[in-house]
C-alpha cells in the first residue's frame, strides 16, 4: 500500500469512528439457523427455527421451510442451541477502577471488561443503579456509537439519607446525602437534567455490624419519587431493614434493589402492598450467598431470602433479574440462577430476564423474539427450560442485530 493510500485509509478509519460507521444502525443482516427458539418464556419452543434480523430489528421468525434466508445474510449455525430474547440485568454498577475516565480511556480494556462482566452472560440491557455519571454517561455514548461493544445502559443517580454513608463504601468517597425533602428534590432534578434515567434511594443504609441502620425519612424519599414520577422515571431503593421496606411502600418507590437479609420473610401486609402498588424486586441472592460470614449463618440468610423471593412471586409481584454485579466480583450468573430456581420455575426465571423488565420499564419492542421486535437475542448452548444453568452457557449475545459477544 502506498503512503497516500495508507493515509487515506487512516483518515477513513478516523472518519468512520467519528461518525459512527459500523454502529448498530448499520448492523448487517443476520440469520440464526437451526436452533430451538423460545419467542417468549411461556411459548411452545419452535424447533429448527430460522430468525432473520435486518437493521437491528427481527424481520422474520419461523421454521426452516417457512422463512427464506436472505442471500446477503451472515448465517449463524444454531444447531443444538437455543435462542431466547436478550437478557436484562436490572441491578449492576459501573464503579470499578476500569471505568474511571471512561470518556477518554482506550476502548480495548473497556470492552474486555464489559465482556467479562456482562456481554458473555447474555446481557443486552442493564440498569446501573449507582455510579459516577461522569464515567457512565460517556461510557454509554461510546457503546451506542459502536466504538465499544456493550449493552444498552440505563443509569440511576443515588441519594443517601443524612449520615447514611454505607460502611462498605470508602469513607473518603463523596456521596450525595439529602437531609430534607427540598434537597432530595433538587438532587433528583439535577440527575434527570443531566440525562440519567432514574433515581436510587438508600431508604436504609448499612453502617456496620455494631451500628444501627440509618433510614431515610419518608418525606425525603417521597420528594424524590414525586419528581421522578412526574418525568416518567423509575425509582429504585436499597431497603436494608424493615423500616427501609416500609419507606419504600410509603414513598411509592418502584423497585426494591435487594431482598432483605435481616427481616424474616415478608409479612402478608407488605406482600399485599407490593402487589397493590406494583413494586418490583431484584433478588440479588448470590450477593448474600457470598457474604464473608460463617457458612451456617449464610445458609440461614439464603433460606430466608429465597423464601422472600418465593412469597413475593407467589403473591403476584414482578421479579426483575439483578445481581449487583460491579459491586460484587462474581460475574458468572450460574449461582444466581440456581438460587432463584429454589423459588421460581425455569420459565419464571427467563421472564425475569426478558419479558418482565421489558414490560416493567415500558420497552415495548424488547423482551421477545418476534417479528418487529428489537434484534436483542441470546444464543445458548442448551435449553434453559431443561436445565436452568443453561441460562449461563452463552454462545452469542446479539444487541440490535450486532454480535456483541461470541464464545471462542
Residues forming contacts to Zn ion in the complex (CB under 5 A) are 324, 327
Whose Cβ is closer to Zn ion: residue 31's or residue 126's? 126
Q: 83's torsion region: left (phi>0), alpha (psi -120 to 50) or beta?
A: beta
Whose Cβ is closer to Zn ion: residue 93's or residue 140's? 93
Write down the least CB distance from residue 397 to Zn ion, Å.
Answer: 22
Exposed, middle or buried, 169 (CB in 10 Å: 0-12/13-18/19+)? middle
Give the three cell numbers for residue 280: 418490583
Write down the least CB distance from residue 99 to Zn ion, Å.
Answer: 15
Q: Which residue is nearest to Zn ion (CB)?
A: 324
Write down the least CB distance from residue 202 to Zn ion, Å.
Answer: 10
Give the three cell numbers for residue 92: 449492576
Q: What does residue 283 show for φ and ψ, rounded to 5 degrees?
A: -70, -35
Whose Cβ is closer to Zn ion: residue 287's or residue 388's? 287
Contact criterion met (CB below 8 Å) for 377 and 32: yes
Q: What does residue 49 show for φ and ψ, rounded to 5 degrees?
A: -85, 155
Contact criterion met (CB below 8 Å) for 165 and 177: yes
Whose Cβ is closer to Zn ion: residue 353's or residue 400's? 353
Q: Which long-range contacts (CB under 8 A, 24 or more apart) does 264-272 make?
A: 264/304, 265/304, 265/307, 265/308, 265/311, 266/308, 266/311, 266/312, 270/245, 271/311, 271/312, 271/315, 271/317, 272/315
Whose Cβ is closer to Zn ion: residue 327's or residue 373's? 327
Whose Cβ is closer to Zn ion: residue 185's or residue 214's? 214
Contacts of 177 (CB under 8 A, 6+ apart): 159, 160, 161, 162, 163, 164, 165
Whose Cβ is closer to Zn ion: residue 324's or residue 376's? 324
Q: What does residue 145 show for φ and ψ, rounded to 5 degrees?
A: -80, -10
Write down the least CB distance from residue 284 to Zn ion, Å.
Answer: 7
CB half-sphere exposure, 87, CA atoms < 13 A: 31
Write down the least CB distance from residue 229 to Zn ion, Å.
Answer: 22
In angstroms, the CA 296 to CA 42 distance is 37
Write down the least CB distance from residue 255 to Zn ion, Å.
Answer: 12
Write down the least CB distance from residue 233 to Zn ion, Å.
Answer: 18
Q: Which of 320, 381, 313 is nearest to 344 (CA)?
A: 313
Whose Cβ is closer to Zn ion: residue 135's or residue 324's? 324
Write down the least CB distance from residue 310 to Zn ion, Å.
Answer: 22
Whose Cβ is closer to Zn ion: residue 279's or residue 385's? 279
Whose Cβ is closer to Zn ion: residue 38's or residue 327's? 327
Write down the least CB distance from residue 130 to Zn ion, Å.
Answer: 6
Write down the least CB distance from residue 72 to Zn ion, Å.
Answer: 43
- Bridge-based pairing of strands 74-77 and 57-63 is unpaired
In angstroms, the CA 249 to CA 277 distance is 8
Whose Cβ is closer to Zn ion: residue 254's or residue 324's? 324
Write down the least CB distance from residue 332 to Zn ion, Å.
Answer: 18
In angstroms, the CA 141 to CA 137 distance is 6
Name the residue with cell 448492523: 27
b (16+ CB within 10 A) / e for 372-381: ebbbbbbbbe
Amino acid at each position: 500500500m502506498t503512503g497516500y493510500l495508507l493515509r487515506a485509509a487512516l483518515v477513513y478509519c478516523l472518519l468512520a469512528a467519528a461518525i459512527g460507521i459500523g454502529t448498530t444502525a448499520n448492523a448487517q443482516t443476520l440469520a440464526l439457523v437451526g436452533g430451538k427458539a423460545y419467542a417468549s418464556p411461556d411459548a411452545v419452543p419452535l424447533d429448527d427455527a430460522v430468525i432473520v434480523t435486518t437493521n437491528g430489528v427481527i424481520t422474520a421468525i419461523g421454521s426452516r421451510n417457512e422463512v427464506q434466508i436472505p442471500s446477503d445474510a451472515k448465517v449463524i449455525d444454531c444447531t443444538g442451541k437455543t435462542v431466547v430474547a436478550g437478557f436484562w440485568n436490572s441491578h449492576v454498577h459501573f464503579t470499578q477502577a476500569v471505568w474511571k475516565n471512561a470518556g477518554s480511556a482506550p476502548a480495548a480494556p473497556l470492552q474486555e471488561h464489559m465482556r467479562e462482566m456482562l456481554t458473555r452472560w447474555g446481557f443486552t440491557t442493564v440498569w446501573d443503579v449507582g455510579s459516577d455519571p461522569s464515567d457512565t454517561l460517556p461510557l454509554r455514548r461510546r457503546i451506542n456509537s459502536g466504538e465499544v461493544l456493550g449493552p444498552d445502559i440505563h443509569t440511576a443517580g443515588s441519594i443517601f439519607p443524612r449520615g447514611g454513608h454505607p460502611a462498605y463504601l470508602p469513607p473518603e468517597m463523596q456521596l450525595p446525602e439529602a437531609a430534607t425533602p427540598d434537597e432530595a428534590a433538587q438532587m433528583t432534578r439535577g440527575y434527570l437534567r443531566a440525562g440519567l434515567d432514574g433515581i436510587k434511594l438508600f431508604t436504609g443504609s448499612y453502617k456496620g455490624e455494631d451500628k444501627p441502620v440509618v433510614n431515610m425519612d419518608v418525606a425525603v424519599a417521597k420528594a424524590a419519587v414525586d419528581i421522578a414520577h412526574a418525568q416518567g422515571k423509575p425509582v429504585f431503593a436499597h431497603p436494608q431493614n424493615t423500616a427501609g421496606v416500609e419507606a419504600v411502600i410509603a414513598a411509592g418507590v418502584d423497585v426494591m434493589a435487594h431482598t432483605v437479609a435481616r427481616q424474616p420473610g415478608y409479612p402478608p401486609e407488605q406482600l399485599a402492598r407490593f402487589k397493590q402498588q406494583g413494586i418490583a424486586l431484584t433478588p440479588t441472592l448470590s450477593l448474600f450467598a457470598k457474604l464473608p460470614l460463617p457458612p451456617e449463618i449464610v445458609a440461614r440468610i439464603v433460606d430466608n431470602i429465597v423464601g422472600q423471593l418465593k412469597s413475593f412471586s407467589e403473591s403476584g409481584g414482578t421479579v426483575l433479574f439483578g445481581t449487583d454485579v460491579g459491586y460484587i466480583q462474581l460475574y458468572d450468573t450460574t449461582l444466581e440462577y440456581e438460587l432463584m430456581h429454589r423459588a421460581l420455575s425455569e420459565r419464571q426465571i427467563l421472564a425475569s430476564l426478558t419479558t418482565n423488565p421489558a414490560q416493567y420499564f415500558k420497552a415495548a419492542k424488547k423482551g421477545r423474539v418476534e417479528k418487529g421486535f428489537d434484534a436483542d437475542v441470546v444464543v445458548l448452548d442448551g435449553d434453559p427450560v431443561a436445565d436452568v444453568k443453561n441460562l449461563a452457557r452463552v454462545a452469542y449475545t446479539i444487541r440490535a442485530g450486532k454480535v456483541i459477544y461470541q464464545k471462542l
